A and B are shown apart, each in its own frame.
Chain A
Protein backbone atom coordinates (compact mmCIF):
# COMPACT_ATOMS: atom_id res chain seq x y z
CA UNK A 1 0.00 0.00 0.00
CA UNK A 2 2.83 2.39 0.91
CA UNK A 3 4.74 1.37 -2.13
CA UNK A 4 1.95 2.23 -4.54
CA UNK A 5 1.75 5.73 -3.04
CA UNK A 6 5.46 6.19 -3.31
CA UNK A 7 5.40 4.94 -6.89
CA UNK A 8 2.73 7.46 -7.75
CA UNK A 9 4.87 10.25 -6.34
CA UNK A 10 7.96 9.10 -8.24
CA UNK A 11 5.96 8.94 -11.45
CA UNK A 12 4.66 12.42 -10.81
CA UNK A 13 8.20 13.65 -10.31
CA UNK A 14 9.39 11.95 -13.51
CA UNK A 15 6.49 13.52 -15.37
CA UNK A 16 7.55 16.94 -14.10
CA UNK A 17 11.09 16.19 -15.29
CA UNK A 18 9.79 15.23 -18.72
CA UNK A 19 7.86 18.44 -19.10
CA UNK A 20 10.84 20.55 -18.15
CA UNK A 21 13.10 20.97 -21.21
CA UNK A 22 16.17 21.77 -19.14
CA UNK A 23 15.72 18.69 -17.02
CA UNK A 24 14.98 16.50 -20.01
CA UNK A 25 18.13 17.58 -21.87
CA UNK A 26 20.26 17.06 -18.77
CA UNK A 27 18.74 13.69 -18.00
CA UNK A 28 19.13 12.37 -21.56
CA UNK A 29 22.77 13.45 -21.89
CA UNK A 30 23.63 12.12 -18.46
CA UNK A 31 21.84 8.84 -19.04
CA UNK A 32 23.76 8.43 -22.31
CA UNK A 33 27.07 8.92 -20.50
CA UNK A 34 26.10 6.52 -17.73
CA UNK A 35 25.15 3.85 -20.27
CA UNK A 36 28.44 4.39 -22.09
CA UNK A 37 30.31 4.11 -18.80
CA UNK A 38 28.59 0.84 -17.94
CA UNK A 39 28.35 -0.95 -21.27
CA UNK A 40 30.76 0.97 -23.53
CA UNK A 41 33.89 -1.09 -22.92
CA UNK A 42 32.07 -4.27 -23.99
CA UNK A 43 31.67 -2.97 -27.54
CA UNK A 44 35.16 -1.54 -27.94
CA UNK A 45 37.30 -3.13 -30.63
CA UNK A 46 40.44 -1.88 -28.84
CA UNK A 47 41.63 -2.11 -25.27
CA UNK A 48 43.15 0.95 -23.62
CA UNK A 49 46.34 -1.13 -23.43
CA UNK A 50 46.48 -1.76 -27.20
CA UNK A 51 49.66 0.12 -27.96
CA UNK A 52 50.00 0.35 -31.71
CA UNK A 53 53.07 0.39 -33.88
CA UNK A 54 55.23 3.46 -34.40
CA UNK A 55 53.15 4.52 -37.40
CA UNK A 56 49.99 4.50 -35.22
CA UNK A 57 51.18 7.40 -33.06
CA UNK A 58 48.96 10.50 -33.19
CA UNK A 59 47.00 9.40 -36.22
CA UNK A 60 44.00 11.56 -37.14
CA UNK A 61 40.53 10.00 -37.14
CA UNK A 62 40.16 7.17 -39.64
CA UNK A 63 37.64 4.36 -40.19
CA UNK A 64 39.85 2.08 -38.07
CA UNK A 65 40.32 4.56 -35.22
CA UNK A 66 37.20 6.72 -35.21
CA UNK A 67 38.79 9.37 -33.00
CA UNK A 68 42.37 8.76 -34.03
CA UNK A 69 45.19 7.60 -31.81
CA UNK A 70 47.16 9.18 -29.00
CA UNK A 71 50.87 9.74 -28.53
CA UNK A 72 51.33 6.11 -27.51
CA UNK A 73 49.40 4.72 -30.43
CA UNK A 74 46.30 3.88 -28.40
CA UNK A 75 42.77 4.34 -29.65
CA UNK A 76 41.38 7.66 -28.32
CA UNK A 77 37.78 6.44 -28.37
CA UNK A 78 38.68 3.46 -26.19
CA UNK A 79 40.36 5.77 -23.70
CA UNK A 80 37.46 8.15 -23.78
CA UNK A 81 34.97 5.40 -22.99
CA UNK A 82 36.93 3.89 -20.15
CA UNK A 83 37.52 7.43 -18.90
CA UNK A 84 33.78 7.96 -18.66
CA UNK A 85 33.56 5.17 -16.15
CA UNK A 86 36.32 6.58 -13.96
CA UNK A 87 35.26 10.21 -14.17
CA UNK A 88 31.65 9.42 -13.30
CA UNK A 89 32.69 7.07 -10.52
CA UNK A 90 34.97 9.67 -8.93
CA UNK A 91 32.27 12.31 -9.35
CA UNK A 92 29.62 10.07 -7.82
CA UNK A 93 31.52 8.82 -4.79
CA UNK A 94 33.09 12.21 -4.02
CA UNK A 95 29.64 13.80 -4.23
CA UNK A 96 28.21 11.21 -1.85
CA UNK A 97 30.97 11.99 0.67
CA UNK A 98 30.43 15.74 0.27
CA UNK A 99 26.68 15.51 0.68
CA UNK A 100 27.02 13.22 3.68
CA UNK A 101 29.36 15.58 5.49
CA UNK A 102 27.47 18.70 4.42
CA UNK A 103 24.06 17.38 5.44
CA UNK A 104 25.30 16.04 8.76
CA UNK A 105 27.13 19.24 9.71
CA UNK A 106 24.27 21.41 8.49
CA UNK A 107 21.58 19.58 10.44
CA UNK A 108 23.59 19.17 13.65
CA UNK A 109 24.70 22.79 13.53
CA UNK A 110 21.24 24.15 12.86
CA UNK A 111 19.49 21.87 15.33
CA UNK A 112 21.70 22.35 18.36
CA UNK A 113 22.54 26.00 17.71
CA UNK A 114 24.60 28.06 20.15
CA UNK A 115 28.18 26.87 20.74
CA UNK A 116 27.84 23.81 18.53
CA UNK A 117 26.53 25.95 15.69
CA UNK A 118 29.25 28.51 16.17
CA UNK A 119 32.05 25.96 16.19
CA UNK A 120 30.75 24.03 13.20
CA UNK A 121 29.97 27.11 11.17
CA UNK A 122 33.41 28.65 11.71
CA UNK A 123 34.84 25.33 10.57
CA UNK A 124 32.56 25.49 7.54
CA UNK A 125 33.58 29.10 6.84
CA UNK A 126 37.16 27.91 6.77
CA UNK A 127 36.36 25.46 4.00
CA UNK A 128 34.15 28.00 2.28
CA UNK A 129 36.68 30.83 2.01
CA UNK A 130 39.90 28.92 1.55
CA UNK A 131 40.71 28.71 -2.19
CA UNK A 132 39.70 25.15 -2.93
CA UNK A 133 42.11 24.48 -5.77
CA UNK A 134 45.32 25.08 -3.80
CA UNK A 135 43.82 23.22 -0.85
CA UNK A 136 43.00 20.21 -2.99
CA UNK A 137 46.42 20.32 -4.62
CA UNK A 138 48.20 20.40 -1.31
CA UNK A 139 46.05 17.59 0.10
CA UNK A 140 46.46 15.47 -3.00
CA UNK A 141 50.21 16.02 -2.98
CA UNK A 142 50.48 15.06 0.71
CA UNK A 143 48.23 12.02 0.49
CA UNK A 144 49.74 10.75 -2.74
CA UNK A 145 48.07 10.20 -6.05
CA UNK A 146 45.71 7.26 -5.93
CA UNK A 147 42.14 6.99 -7.12
CA UNK A 148 40.70 6.85 -3.59
CA UNK A 149 42.82 9.74 -2.38
CA UNK A 150 41.48 11.89 -5.20
CA UNK A 151 37.93 10.92 -4.24
CA UNK A 152 38.63 11.69 -0.61
CA UNK A 153 40.21 15.05 -1.36
CA UNK A 154 37.33 16.16 -3.56
CA UNK A 155 34.81 14.81 -1.06
CA UNK A 156 36.11 16.69 1.95
CA UNK A 157 36.56 20.01 0.18
CA UNK A 158 33.17 20.31 -1.46
CA UNK A 159 30.67 20.15 1.38
CA UNK A 160 30.77 23.66 2.84
CA UNK A 161 28.07 25.22 0.64
CA UNK A 162 25.71 22.33 1.29
CA UNK A 163 26.25 22.58 5.04
CA UNK A 164 25.32 26.27 4.92
CA UNK A 165 22.16 25.71 2.93
CA UNK A 166 21.06 22.74 5.02
CA UNK A 167 21.75 24.63 8.24
CA UNK A 168 19.57 27.56 7.25
CA UNK A 169 16.71 25.27 6.32
CA UNK A 170 17.15 23.32 9.56
CA UNK A 171 16.89 26.54 11.53
CA UNK A 172 13.49 27.09 10.01
CA UNK A 173 12.26 23.50 10.25
CA UNK A 174 13.25 22.99 13.87
CA UNK A 175 10.94 25.80 14.98
CA UNK A 176 7.89 24.20 13.37
CA UNK A 177 5.23 22.94 15.67
CA UNK A 178 5.55 19.31 14.66
CA UNK A 179 9.09 19.28 15.98
CA UNK A 180 7.81 20.65 19.27
CA UNK A 181 5.14 17.97 19.21
CA UNK A 182 7.71 15.25 18.57
CA UNK A 183 9.76 16.49 21.52
CA UNK A 184 6.72 16.39 23.76
CA UNK A 185 5.88 12.89 22.57
CA UNK A 186 9.29 11.95 23.91
CA UNK A 187 11.56 11.94 20.87
CA UNK A 188 15.27 12.50 21.41
CA UNK A 189 17.51 14.77 19.34
CA UNK A 190 18.78 11.98 17.08
CA UNK A 191 15.28 10.81 16.29
CA UNK A 192 14.09 14.32 15.50
CA UNK A 193 17.03 15.08 13.25
CA UNK A 194 16.72 11.80 11.35
CA UNK A 195 12.96 11.46 11.12
CA UNK A 196 11.64 15.00 11.11
CA UNK A 197 14.34 17.37 9.93
CA UNK A 198 16.17 15.29 7.34
CA UNK A 199 13.05 14.48 5.26
CA UNK A 200 12.15 18.16 5.32
CA UNK A 201 15.54 19.38 4.14
CA UNK A 202 15.96 16.50 1.70
CA UNK A 203 14.63 18.24 -1.44
CA UNK A 204 17.29 20.87 -0.86
CA UNK A 205 19.98 18.25 -0.39
CA UNK A 206 18.82 16.49 -3.53
CA UNK A 207 18.93 19.60 -5.71
CA UNK A 208 22.32 20.45 -4.25
CA UNK A 209 23.72 16.98 -4.90
CA UNK A 210 23.43 17.42 -8.62
CA UNK A 211 25.25 20.75 -8.54
CA UNK A 212 27.98 19.39 -6.27
CA UNK A 213 28.42 16.44 -8.63
CA UNK A 214 29.19 18.87 -11.45
CA UNK A 215 31.82 20.58 -9.31
CA UNK A 216 33.29 17.22 -8.30
CA UNK A 217 33.80 16.20 -11.90
CA UNK A 218 35.43 19.50 -12.78
CA UNK A 219 37.65 19.13 -9.71
CA UNK A 220 38.71 15.67 -10.75
CA UNK A 221 39.54 16.90 -14.24
CA UNK A 222 41.48 19.84 -12.86
CA UNK A 223 43.52 17.78 -10.43
CA UNK A 224 44.29 15.15 -13.02
CA UNK A 225 45.16 17.75 -15.62
CA UNK A 226 47.62 19.29 -13.19
CA UNK A 227 49.25 15.90 -12.78
CA UNK A 228 47.82 15.07 -9.36
CA UNK A 229 45.56 12.32 -10.66
CA UNK A 230 46.12 8.60 -10.42
CA UNK A 231 48.55 7.85 -13.27
CA UNK A 232 47.30 4.26 -13.54
CA UNK A 233 43.72 5.27 -14.38
CA UNK A 234 42.55 6.80 -17.60
CA UNK A 235 40.12 9.49 -16.55
CA UNK A 236 39.26 12.37 -18.86
CA UNK A 237 41.45 14.64 -16.79
CA UNK A 238 44.41 12.29 -17.24
CA UNK A 239 43.77 12.20 -20.98
CA UNK A 240 43.89 15.99 -21.12
CA UNK A 241 47.02 15.89 -19.01
CA UNK A 242 48.81 13.49 -21.36
CA UNK A 243 47.52 15.31 -24.40
CA UNK A 244 48.94 18.55 -23.08
CA UNK A 245 52.23 16.95 -22.06
CA UNK A 246 52.76 15.29 -25.40
CA UNK A 247 52.33 18.61 -27.13
CA UNK A 248 49.27 17.58 -29.06
CA UNK A 249 47.94 21.10 -28.92
CA UNK A 250 50.89 22.52 -30.81
CA UNK A 251 50.97 19.47 -33.05
CA UNK A 252 47.38 20.21 -34.00
CA UNK A 253 46.16 16.79 -32.81
CA UNK A 254 42.70 18.10 -32.00
CA UNK A 255 41.30 14.54 -31.93
CA UNK A 256 43.36 13.88 -28.83
CA UNK A 257 42.48 16.84 -26.60
CA UNK A 258 39.05 17.87 -27.85
CA UNK A 259 36.98 14.71 -27.08
CA UNK A 260 37.77 14.48 -23.34
CA UNK A 261 37.26 18.23 -23.00
CA UNK A 262 33.90 18.08 -24.74
CA UNK A 263 32.84 15.10 -22.61
CA UNK A 264 33.68 16.94 -19.39
CA UNK A 265 31.75 19.98 -20.57
CA UNK A 266 28.72 17.89 -21.58
CA UNK A 267 28.56 15.96 -18.31
CA UNK A 268 29.01 19.06 -16.17
CA UNK A 269 26.45 20.94 -18.24
CA UNK A 270 23.90 18.14 -17.92
CA UNK A 271 24.40 17.99 -14.15
CA UNK A 272 23.97 21.74 -13.89
CA UNK A 273 20.86 21.72 -16.05
CA UNK A 274 19.38 18.95 -13.91
CA UNK A 275 20.28 20.83 -10.74
CA UNK A 276 18.52 24.01 -11.79
CA UNK A 277 15.56 22.06 -13.10
CA UNK A 278 15.18 20.09 -9.85
CA UNK A 279 15.29 23.32 -7.94
CA UNK A 280 12.52 24.63 -10.14
CA UNK A 281 10.43 21.46 -9.85
CA UNK A 282 10.79 21.19 -6.10
CA UNK A 283 10.56 24.85 -5.25
CA UNK A 284 7.09 26.00 -6.35
CA UNK A 285 8.12 29.65 -5.99
CA UNK A 286 10.42 29.33 -8.98
CA UNK A 287 7.82 27.62 -11.13
CA UNK A 288 6.48 29.44 -14.14
CA UNK A 289 2.78 29.90 -14.09
Chain B
Protein backbone atom coordinates (compact mmCIF):
# COMPACT_ATOMS: atom_id res chain seq x y z
CA UNK B 1 0.00 0.00 0.00
CA UNK B 2 1.44 3.38 -0.93
CA UNK B 3 1.96 5.97 1.78
CA UNK B 4 -0.18 8.52 0.02
CA UNK B 5 -2.55 8.12 -2.86
CA UNK B 6 -4.39 11.07 -4.35
CA UNK B 7 -7.14 10.09 -6.74
CA UNK B 8 -9.02 12.46 -9.00
CA UNK B 9 -8.84 15.28 -6.43
CA UNK B 10 -11.10 18.24 -7.06
CA UNK B 11 -10.76 21.33 -4.93
CA UNK B 12 -12.99 24.28 -5.70
CA UNK B 13 -13.15 27.76 -4.25
CA UNK B 14 -16.51 29.43 -3.83
CA UNK B 15 -15.99 33.06 -4.76
CA UNK B 16 -18.34 35.93 -5.45
CA UNK B 17 -17.73 35.50 -9.17
CA UNK B 18 -18.46 31.79 -9.16
CA UNK B 19 -16.74 28.51 -8.59
CA UNK B 20 -12.98 28.56 -9.10
CA UNK B 21 -11.72 25.11 -10.04
CA UNK B 22 -8.22 25.35 -8.59
CA UNK B 23 -7.65 21.61 -8.67
CA UNK B 24 -9.79 19.68 -11.09
CA UNK B 25 -8.95 16.02 -11.13
CA UNK B 26 -5.37 15.65 -9.96
CA UNK B 27 -3.88 12.31 -8.99
CA UNK B 28 -0.52 10.93 -7.88
CA UNK B 29 1.10 8.46 -5.53
CA UNK B 30 3.85 8.71 -2.97
CA UNK B 31 5.76 5.96 -1.17
CA UNK B 32 7.83 5.85 2.00
CA UNK B 33 11.14 7.60 1.57
CA UNK B 34 10.17 8.82 -1.85
CA UNK B 35 10.29 12.39 -3.10
CA UNK B 36 7.70 13.72 -5.48
CA UNK B 37 8.03 17.03 -7.23
CA UNK B 38 4.95 19.02 -8.16
CA UNK B 39 5.70 21.52 -10.92
CA UNK B 40 3.73 23.90 -13.00
CA UNK B 41 3.15 27.58 -13.63
CA UNK B 42 1.76 29.87 -10.96
CA UNK B 43 -1.92 29.22 -10.42
CA UNK B 44 -1.94 25.68 -11.74
CA UNK B 45 -3.11 24.28 -8.41
CA UNK B 46 0.11 23.03 -6.83
CA UNK B 47 -0.31 24.74 -3.49
CA UNK B 48 -4.03 24.07 -3.35
CA UNK B 49 -3.26 20.42 -3.89
CA UNK B 50 -0.85 20.44 -0.94
CA UNK B 51 -3.26 22.33 1.27
CA UNK B 52 -5.97 19.80 0.44
CA UNK B 53 -3.71 16.97 1.56
CA UNK B 54 -2.98 18.74 4.84
CA UNK B 55 -6.62 19.82 5.08
CA UNK B 56 -5.59 23.42 5.55
CA UNK B 57 -7.75 25.01 2.88
CA UNK B 58 -9.07 28.49 3.58
CA UNK B 59 -12.75 28.53 4.43
CA UNK B 60 -13.82 29.40 0.87
CA UNK B 61 -12.17 26.25 -0.42
CA UNK B 62 -13.69 22.80 -0.39
CA UNK B 63 -12.77 19.41 -1.72
CA UNK B 64 -15.51 18.68 -4.22
CA UNK B 65 -14.48 15.19 -5.17
CA UNK B 66 -11.85 12.52 -5.21
CA UNK B 67 -9.99 10.64 -2.52
CA UNK B 68 -6.86 11.26 -0.50
CA UNK B 69 -5.75 7.95 0.94
CA UNK B 70 -3.09 8.05 3.60
CA UNK B 71 -1.96 4.51 4.33
CA UNK B 72 -5.33 3.41 3.02
CA UNK B 73 -7.42 5.80 5.14
CA UNK B 74 -9.41 8.45 3.31
CA UNK B 75 -8.54 11.58 5.25
CA UNK B 76 -11.34 13.51 3.60
CA UNK B 77 -13.78 11.51 5.69
CA UNK B 78 -12.14 12.38 9.03
CA UNK B 79 -13.59 15.03 11.33
CA UNK B 80 -11.82 18.33 11.99
CA UNK B 81 -10.65 17.20 15.44
CA UNK B 82 -9.25 13.95 14.11
CA UNK B 83 -7.43 15.92 11.43
CA UNK B 84 -6.04 18.41 13.92
CA UNK B 85 -4.61 15.56 15.96
CA UNK B 86 -3.24 13.82 12.86
CA UNK B 87 -1.81 16.83 11.13
CA UNK B 88 1.84 17.42 11.93
CA UNK B 89 2.17 13.86 13.24
CA UNK B 90 1.26 12.47 9.82
CA UNK B 91 1.60 15.37 7.40
CA UNK B 92 3.46 18.58 7.99
CA UNK B 93 4.23 21.56 5.83
CA UNK B 94 7.35 23.62 5.33
CA UNK B 95 5.77 26.94 4.64
CA UNK B 96 6.30 29.18 1.68
CA UNK B 97 8.32 32.18 2.83
CA UNK B 98 9.86 31.19 6.15
CA UNK B 99 10.59 34.87 6.71
CA UNK B 100 7.02 35.52 7.71
CA UNK B 101 6.05 32.20 9.22
CA UNK B 102 7.94 32.81 12.45
CA UNK B 103 6.45 34.96 15.17
CA UNK B 104 8.86 37.90 15.64
CA UNK B 105 8.27 38.18 19.38
CA UNK B 106 8.75 34.52 20.27
CA UNK B 107 12.01 32.64 20.58
CA UNK B 108 12.48 30.27 17.66
CA UNK B 109 12.95 27.29 19.98
CA UNK B 110 9.68 28.05 21.68
CA UNK B 111 7.87 28.05 18.37
CA UNK B 112 9.20 24.62 17.56
CA UNK B 113 8.45 23.40 21.06
CA UNK B 114 4.94 24.73 20.56
CA UNK B 115 4.30 22.20 17.82
CA UNK B 116 5.52 19.39 20.08
CA UNK B 117 3.56 20.49 23.15
CA UNK B 118 0.36 20.80 21.14
CA UNK B 119 0.56 17.22 19.96
CA UNK B 120 2.25 15.29 22.70
CA UNK B 121 1.79 15.45 26.42
CA UNK B 122 5.24 16.75 27.25
CA UNK B 123 6.49 19.61 29.37
CA UNK B 124 8.03 22.75 27.93
CA UNK B 125 11.55 21.82 29.09
CA UNK B 126 11.33 18.45 27.38
CA UNK B 127 9.90 20.04 24.23
CA UNK B 128 12.70 22.61 24.20
CA UNK B 129 15.27 19.86 24.57
CA UNK B 130 13.76 18.15 21.55
CA UNK B 131 13.73 21.44 19.67
CA UNK B 132 17.48 21.51 20.34
CA UNK B 133 17.81 17.99 18.92
CA UNK B 134 15.88 19.09 15.85
CA UNK B 135 18.19 22.07 15.46
CA UNK B 136 21.13 19.67 15.37
CA UNK B 137 19.27 17.52 12.87
CA UNK B 138 18.98 20.48 10.52
CA UNK B 139 22.61 21.33 11.18
CA UNK B 140 22.29 24.36 13.40
CA UNK B 141 23.91 24.85 16.81
CA UNK B 142 21.47 23.89 19.53
CA UNK B 143 22.17 27.00 21.57
CA UNK B 144 20.45 29.11 18.91
CA UNK B 145 17.00 27.99 20.06
CA UNK B 146 16.92 30.98 22.41
CA UNK B 147 17.30 33.46 19.56
CA UNK B 148 14.50 35.46 18.03
CA UNK B 149 13.71 35.25 14.31
CA UNK B 150 15.36 38.59 13.49
CA UNK B 151 18.63 37.17 14.73
CA UNK B 152 18.52 34.46 12.04
CA UNK B 153 19.52 34.66 8.40
CA UNK B 154 17.11 33.61 5.66
CA UNK B 155 18.66 30.17 5.34
CA UNK B 156 18.57 29.66 9.10
CA UNK B 157 14.91 30.60 9.25
CA UNK B 158 14.24 28.07 6.52
CA UNK B 159 16.15 25.44 8.49
CA UNK B 160 14.10 26.33 11.55
CA UNK B 161 10.93 25.83 9.51
CA UNK B 162 12.19 22.43 8.42
CA UNK B 163 12.96 21.57 12.04
CA UNK B 164 9.42 22.58 12.91
CA UNK B 165 7.99 20.42 10.14
CA UNK B 166 9.95 17.45 11.51
CA UNK B 167 8.97 18.11 15.14
CA UNK B 168 6.44 15.30 15.44
CA UNK B 169 8.12 12.76 13.15
CA UNK B 170 5.65 13.06 10.31
CA UNK B 171 5.38 10.47 7.56
CA UNK B 172 4.85 13.05 4.86
CA UNK B 173 6.48 16.46 4.62
CA UNK B 174 5.22 18.95 2.08
CA UNK B 175 7.69 21.63 1.07
CA UNK B 176 5.79 24.50 -0.52
CA UNK B 177 8.50 26.29 -2.48
CA UNK B 178 10.90 25.89 0.43
CA UNK B 179 13.76 27.62 -1.34
CA UNK B 180 12.07 30.37 -3.31
CA UNK B 181 13.38 33.38 -1.39
CA UNK B 182 16.90 32.07 -0.90
CA UNK B 183 20.06 32.60 -2.91
CA UNK B 184 21.35 29.67 -4.95
CA UNK B 185 24.04 28.61 -2.48
CA UNK B 186 21.64 28.41 0.43
CA UNK B 187 19.07 26.87 -1.86
CA UNK B 188 21.44 24.02 -2.63
CA UNK B 189 22.22 23.52 1.06
CA UNK B 190 18.55 23.35 1.99
CA UNK B 191 17.76 20.91 -0.81
CA UNK B 192 20.67 18.68 0.17
CA UNK B 193 19.47 18.76 3.74
CA UNK B 194 15.95 17.75 2.72
CA UNK B 195 17.36 15.00 0.53
CA UNK B 196 19.45 13.68 3.41
CA UNK B 197 16.64 13.84 5.96
CA UNK B 198 14.18 12.06 3.73
CA UNK B 199 16.48 9.07 3.43
CA UNK B 200 17.43 9.10 7.10
CA UNK B 201 13.88 9.38 8.38
CA UNK B 202 12.27 7.38 5.56
CA UNK B 203 9.57 9.97 5.04
CA UNK B 204 7.65 10.90 1.96
CA UNK B 205 8.52 14.32 0.62
CA UNK B 206 6.42 16.43 -1.68
CA UNK B 207 8.31 19.36 -3.15
CA UNK B 208 6.28 22.09 -4.73
CA UNK B 209 8.13 24.40 -7.04
CA UNK B 210 8.10 26.00 -10.45
CA UNK B 211 11.78 25.38 -10.87
CA UNK B 212 12.20 22.13 -12.78
CA UNK B 213 15.96 22.16 -12.37
CA UNK B 214 15.60 21.70 -8.60
CA UNK B 215 13.46 18.62 -9.03
CA UNK B 216 15.88 16.82 -11.28
CA UNK B 217 18.36 16.60 -8.44
CA UNK B 218 16.18 16.05 -5.42
CA UNK B 219 13.17 14.04 -6.51
CA UNK B 220 12.44 10.49 -7.58
CA UNK B 221 9.21 11.31 -9.32
CA UNK B 222 7.72 14.38 -10.89
CA UNK B 223 4.10 15.31 -11.46
CA UNK B 224 3.60 18.15 -13.91
CA UNK B 225 0.44 20.13 -13.26
CA UNK B 226 -1.47 22.30 -15.67
CA UNK B 227 -4.89 23.83 -15.16
CA UNK B 228 -5.63 21.90 -11.99
CA UNK B 229 -4.73 18.54 -13.50
CA UNK B 230 -1.68 16.36 -13.46
CA UNK B 231 -0.80 16.23 -17.16
CA UNK B 232 2.24 14.06 -16.92
CA UNK B 233 3.80 12.01 -14.18
CA UNK B 234 6.79 9.74 -14.12
CA UNK B 235 10.29 9.26 -12.80
CA UNK B 236 12.78 12.10 -13.22
CA UNK B 237 14.29 10.18 -16.12
CA UNK B 238 10.91 9.72 -17.78
CA UNK B 239 10.07 13.36 -17.55
CA UNK B 240 13.41 14.74 -18.72
CA UNK B 241 14.45 12.13 -21.25
CA UNK B 242 11.20 10.65 -22.51
CA UNK B 243 8.98 13.68 -22.28
CA UNK B 244 5.47 12.74 -23.34
CA UNK B 245 3.46 15.92 -23.02
CA UNK B 246 3.87 19.14 -25.02
CA UNK B 247 3.46 21.24 -21.88
CA UNK B 248 6.29 19.43 -20.09
CA UNK B 249 8.40 19.81 -23.20
CA UNK B 250 7.81 23.54 -23.26
CA UNK B 251 8.42 23.84 -19.52
CA UNK B 252 11.77 22.11 -19.87
CA UNK B 253 12.75 24.29 -22.80
CA UNK B 254 12.13 27.35 -20.63
CA UNK B 255 15.30 26.54 -18.71
CA UNK B 256 18.50 27.39 -20.51
CA UNK B 257 20.67 24.36 -21.06
CA UNK B 258 24.40 24.85 -20.58
CA UNK B 259 25.37 22.21 -23.13
CA UNK B 260 23.21 23.59 -25.93
CA UNK B 261 25.02 26.86 -26.45
CA UNK B 262 23.47 30.30 -26.53
CA UNK B 263 19.71 29.91 -26.90
CA UNK B 264 17.19 32.37 -25.55
CA UNK B 265 14.44 30.41 -23.78
CA UNK B 266 11.21 30.73 -25.69
CA UNK B 267 8.69 30.62 -22.92
CA UNK B 268 5.17 29.43 -23.48
CA UNK B 269 2.89 31.83 -25.30
CA UNK B 270 -0.46 32.72 -23.81
CA UNK B 271 -1.58 32.56 -20.21
CA UNK B 272 -2.70 29.72 -17.94
CA UNK B 273 -6.39 28.90 -18.33
CA UNK B 274 -9.08 30.82 -16.51
CA UNK B 275 -10.25 28.25 -14.02
CA UNK B 276 -13.65 29.85 -13.55
CA UNK B 277 -14.35 28.57 -17.03
CA UNK B 278 -11.65 26.15 -18.20
CA UNK B 279 -11.46 25.46 -21.92
CA UNK B 280 -13.29 22.39 -23.18
CA UNK B 281 -11.28 19.35 -24.17
CA UNK B 282 -7.61 19.45 -23.24
CA UNK B 283 -7.10 22.54 -21.10
CA UNK B 284 -3.70 23.16 -22.72
CA UNK B 285 -4.98 23.21 -26.31
CA UNK B 286 -5.20 27.02 -26.72
CA UNK B 287 -1.45 27.27 -26.09
CA UNK B 288 -0.34 24.00 -27.62
CA UNK B 289 1.62 24.00 -30.88
CA UNK B 290 0.46 20.46 -31.60
CA UNK B 291 -3.24 20.99 -30.96
CA UNK B 292 -5.56 19.36 -33.50
CA UNK B 293 -9.32 19.38 -33.82
CA UNK B 294 -9.75 16.50 -31.35
CA UNK B 295 -8.05 18.46 -28.55
CA UNK B 296 -10.81 21.06 -28.64
CA UNK B 297 -13.64 18.80 -27.61
CA UNK B 298 -12.16 15.64 -26.15
CA UNK B 299 -10.35 15.60 -22.86
CA UNK B 300 -7.40 13.20 -23.08
CA UNK B 301 -7.20 10.35 -20.57
CA UNK B 302 -3.99 9.59 -18.76
CA UNK B 303 -2.25 7.00 -20.94
CA UNK B 304 0.19 4.56 -19.45
CA UNK B 305 3.50 4.69 -21.23
CA UNK B 306 5.37 2.55 -18.73
CA UNK B 307 4.70 1.35 -15.17
CA UNK B 308 5.16 4.78 -13.62
CA UNK B 309 5.00 7.06 -16.63
CA UNK B 310 1.60 8.55 -17.49
CA UNK B 311 0.70 11.30 -19.90
CA UNK B 312 -2.62 13.00 -20.59
CA UNK B 313 -2.13 13.94 -24.23
CA UNK B 314 -3.78 12.62 -27.39
CA UNK B 315 -0.47 12.84 -29.18
CA UNK B 316 1.98 11.61 -26.58
CA UNK B 317 3.56 9.24 -29.09
CA UNK B 318 4.29 12.10 -31.47
CA UNK B 319 5.78 14.13 -28.61
CA UNK B 320 8.01 11.22 -27.63
CA UNK B 321 9.17 10.80 -31.19
CA UNK B 322 10.08 14.46 -31.27
CA UNK B 323 7.66 15.46 -34.02
Contacts and interface: CB of A to CB of B under 8 A. Distances in A.
Contact of A196 (B103, B115, B119): B103
A5 interface: yes
A62 interface: no
A1 B102 CA distance: 21
B105 A200 contact: yes
B303 to A, nearest CB: 37
A18 interface: no
A184 B56 contact: yes
Contact of A191 (B103, B107, B118): B118
A183 B119 CA distance: 12
A177 B54 CA distance: 16
Contacts of A196: 103, 106
Instruction: Find the residue from A176, A181, A182, A199 having the highest chain B CB count within 10 A.
Output: A181
A185 interface: yes
A185 B95 contact: no
A178 B103 contact: yes
B101 A181 contact: yes
A202 B103 CA distance: 14
Contacts of B102: 178, 181
A181 B95 contact: yes
Given A181-B95, A186-B88, A200-B105, A5 B54 contact: no
Interface string B101-143: 1111111000100110011000000000000000000000001
A186 B84 contact: yes
A186 B103 CA distance: 15
B208 to A, nearest CB: 15
A2 interface: yes
A195 interface: yes
B161 to A, nearest CB: 8
A2 B107 contact: yes
B146 A187 contact: no
A195 B100 contact: no
Contact of A186 (B87, B107, B146): B87
Interface in B43-59: 54, 56
B183 to A, nearest CB: 21
Interface string B81-105: 0001101100001010100111111
Interface of A: 1-2, 5, 176-178, 180-187, 191, 195-196, 199-200, 202
5 contacts: A177-B100, A184-B56, A185-B114, A186-B84, A186-B118
Interface of B: 54, 56, 84-85, 87-88, 93, 95, 97, 100-107, 111, 114-115, 118-119, 143, 146, 164
Given A177-B97, A181-B95, A196-B106, 14 more contacts: A1-B146, A2-B146, A176-B103, A177-B101, A180-B101, A182-B114, A184-B56, A184-B93, A187-B118, A191-B118, A195-B114, A199-B103, A199-B106, A200-B103
